[in-house]
């Protein structure tokens, strides 16, 4: 599969990808962490970084904020690190440069360390993460042409947000016939939360993402251009590229990632396992700086400064008035719509946002199995233990006085309101965690969760088959 999506062309990528070779084993949450401990000789628990010059990659999205803040507000410098940030055009670049050692680490989609470690879509490279950079941050945008067609036929439904994907069924046959191609949506990478969120939304509305529509890969910053050119009918991407389309009148946001899964994971800090083992003190210094940066960025009084920093040409390179929307907790679904308050659109520290829950890794892998990217015989729990390292996070959090969960797993989908995590170093205020379709994810029973989709995959029966030879992604 071609994943070199850094150029200006849409990649006709299979966003499912073939499953890699299976590794048999039972799904058990028990296990022992491989020790990757920081070294210290002074009794402080904090050792000097083995190397002080560090290069980290990022993609121009608002959730690169923790890395930018850590540089600009000198959180890295306070840890004795001189960090250079490398702006990359695509997630494939990020993955490959970290794998080859060109970058020491990077902002990554939560699925990249998992996919790289399991050999999904690329040469197998053992990666890991000990820090979640943020929760939420994505949205699904439809083109103006598609929205106008939907509004003409279903004005009542189109006035609602979030929008039920089932409305696409009502216009699909005529729309496909006119355009002579399947309805086409873009995501940023095959193993991205964007791919899984888009598929979750479509399937919940009775649309088969693999038969009824086409899904292609487009780099985040190129989404709006392809939407305006008519190459795609919609996309799922992080900010600011949804609000850019809204501001230009090119599209309308129909649902946010938060409305698909309240406070779901988004980006992580990814490194190779070899790098973490060779430079444990440098890794800990990076974690401490980024935990502090996320904490600073999550303070309401700092959000406008965060927006100004990341809007600069060397980072996101977007209009400040657009970038500030999600950062300020306000959001516009359409050009003529009034902004609404979405205080949790970007979460960098609250709700234990930095903690790398192994249950989050398990949920991502259930979606990989659901969409046939990963062999169901794979030992998911063993992979989660190897790749997600909350033990390393706790060491850094303890050093900077940040509270942390004591266990590695939590059930998702039970809480419709704020709640308190008592099983922590000190009680932590948590946010809602509902899914769009009301499902409960129990990390102790991933097999039943996966089967629940198989038995009720498409409640609405699917769309009429598109009259096209283009196939589906």
pLDDT in tens, 329-368: 889 999 999 999 999 999 999 999 999 999 999 999 999 9
On the question of pLDDT at 462 being above 60, the answer is no
Task: Over range 207-214, report the average pLDDT.
Answer: 94
What residues form DSSP beta bridges with 105? 56
- The pLDDT value given to residue 329: 87
Phi, psi of 135 (to 5 degrees): -115, 150
Judged by DSSP in three states, 171 sits in helix
| Maximum Cα interatomic distance, the chain, rounded to a whole number of Å | 72
User: Which of residues 43 and 281 earns the better pLDDT score?
Assistant: 281
Pairing of strands 234-238, 82-87: unpaired
Candidate from 33-37, 131-135, 274-278 with smallest mean pLDDT: 33-37
Q: Which residue has the tokens 């659901």?
A: 370
Is the pLDDT reported for residue 183 higher than 50?
A: yes
**Cα 287 from Cα 377, distance rounded (Å):** 33
pLDDT of 18 above 50: no
Which helix (H) or strand (E) segment holds residue 58: the answer is strand 53-58
pLDDT on residue 426 = 97
Between 371 and 1, residue with greater pLDDT: 371
Count CA within 13 A, CB hemisphere, residue 118.
Answer: 35
Mean pLDDT (whole number) for 135-145: 97
pLDDT at 265: 98
Q: Which string of DSSP letters, residue by residue, matches 130-143?
A: EEE--EE-EEEEEE
Write down the CATH number for the domain with range 53-135+264-445: 3.40.190.10
Half-sphere exposure of 230 (CA within 13 A, CB side): 7
Q: Is the pLDDT of residue 94 over 80?
A: yes
pLDDT for residue 38 is more than 70: no
Task: Supply the pLDDT for residue 191.
Answer: 97
């Amino acid at each position: 599969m071609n994943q070199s999506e850094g150029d200006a062309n849409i990649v006709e990528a299979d966003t499912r990808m073939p499953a890699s070779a299976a590794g048999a084993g039972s799904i058990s949450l028990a296990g022992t962490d491989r020790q990757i401990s920081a070294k210290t000789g002074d009794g402080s628990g904090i050792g000097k970084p083995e190397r002080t010059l560090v290069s980290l990659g990022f993609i121009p999205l608002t959730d690169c904020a923790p890395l930018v803040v850590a540089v600009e507000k000198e959180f890295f410098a306070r840890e004795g690190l001189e960090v250079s940030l490398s702006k990359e055009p695509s997630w494939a670049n990020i993955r490959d440069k970290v794998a080859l050692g060109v970058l020491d680490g990077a902002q990554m989609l939560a699925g990249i360390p998992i996919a790289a470690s399991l050999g999904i879509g690329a040469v197998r490279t053992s990666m890991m993460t000990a820090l979640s950079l943020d929760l939420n941050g994505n949205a699904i945008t439809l083109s103006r042409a598609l929205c106008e067609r939907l509004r003409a036929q279903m004005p009542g439904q189109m006035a609602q947000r979030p929008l039920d994907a089932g409305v696409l069924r009502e216009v699909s046959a005529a729309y496909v016939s006119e355009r002579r191609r399947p309805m086409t949506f873009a995501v940023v990478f095959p193993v991205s939360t964007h791919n899984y969120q888009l598929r979750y939304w479509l399937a919940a509305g009775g649309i088969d993402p693999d038969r009824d529509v086409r899904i292609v890969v487009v780099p985040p910053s190129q989404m709006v251009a392809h939407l305006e050119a008519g190459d795609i009918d919609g996309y799922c991407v992080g900010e600011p590229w949804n609000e850019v389309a809204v501001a230009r009148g090119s599209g309308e946001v129909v649902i946010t990632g938060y409305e698909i899964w309240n406070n779901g994971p988004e980006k992580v800090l990814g490194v190779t396992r070899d790098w973490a083992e060779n430079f444990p003190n440098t890794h800990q210094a990076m974690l401490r700086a980024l935990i502090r940066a996320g904490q600073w960025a999550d303070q309401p009084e700092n959000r406008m400064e965060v927006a100004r920093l990341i809007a600069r040409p060397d980072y996101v390179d977007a209009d400040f008035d657009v970038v500030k929307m999600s950062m300020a907790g306000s959001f516009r679904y359409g050009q003529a719509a009034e902004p609404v308050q979405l205080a949790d659109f970007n979460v960098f520290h609250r709700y234990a946002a930095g903690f790398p829950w192994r249950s989050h890794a398990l949920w991502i892998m259930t979606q990989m199995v659901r969409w046939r990217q990963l062999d169901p015989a794979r030992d998911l729990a063993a992979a989660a233990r190897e790749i997600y390292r909350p033990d390393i996070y706790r060491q850094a959090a303890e050093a900077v006085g940040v509270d942390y969960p004591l266990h590695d797993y939590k059930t998702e989908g039970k809480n419709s309101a704020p709640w308190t995590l008592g099983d922590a170093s000190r009680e932590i205020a948590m946010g809602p965690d509902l899914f769009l379709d009301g499902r409960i994810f129990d990390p102790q029973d991933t097999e039943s969760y996966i089967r629940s989709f198989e038995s009720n995959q498409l409640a609405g029966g699917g769309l009429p088959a598109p009259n096209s030879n283009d196939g589906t992604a």
